[in-house]
Amino acid sequence: MKRAAIRCIVVGLLAALAAPAAAQPVTLDKEIRTALTQWMTDFNAGRADKVCDIFAPTLRADVDGFAAERGFDEQCKLLKAALADPDHTFSYALDLKEILADGDMAAVRLVWTLTSKTKASGETKVAEEQGLDIFGRSSDGQWKIIRFMSYERN
């Protein structure tokens, strides 16, 4: 009887220890989804003061159509310039394909649909940008993009 009771206690302890580990990917997934959704909301609302919050200072970006990789400063300058463009409006829609997270790193496959509109003519263009974002957890516990690649789908 004692062995059966001890065995039940050990199994219970192991299950309790495993439960937080099993829940961790769900939590990481939710945090990253929240960060990406917040970025989209900020961009679409024209919040130039917020559009760089998702990027780590060590950011490296490889974007289709641009010869060189971009760092944090270049990426932020381009985003803020787009939001300040008096002749066009831009908005993004997010399609998350997959989040693979482990510890303080995560890889995210996604597709951004960029809609741009010329204010004077009303001409609208839509482009799908397939991407891979690599997130790292910053010292303050927030998820930040440290690397990303984006390529327009044809």
Helix runs in 45-110, H state only: 72-84
What is the three-class DSSP state of 53?
Answer: coil
Domains identified in the chain and CATH numbers: 25-152 (3.10.450.50)
pLDDT tens-digit readout, 61-86: 999 888 789 999 999 999 999 999 99
Determine contact, residues 89/117, Cβ cutoff 8 Å.
yes
Q: Whole-angstrom Cα distance, residue 81 to residue 79?
A: 5
pTM: 0.80
Helix runs in 47-90, H state only: 72-84
CA 8 centroid distance within chain: 42
pLDDT tens-digit readout, 115-141: 999 999 999 999 999 999 999 998 888
What is the three-class DSSP state of 147?
Answer: strand
Token duo for residue 101: 């997270």
pLDDT tens-digit readout, 20-56: 444 455 677 889 999 999 999 999 999 999 999 999 9
Determine contact, residues 89/119, Cβ cutoff 8 Å.
yes
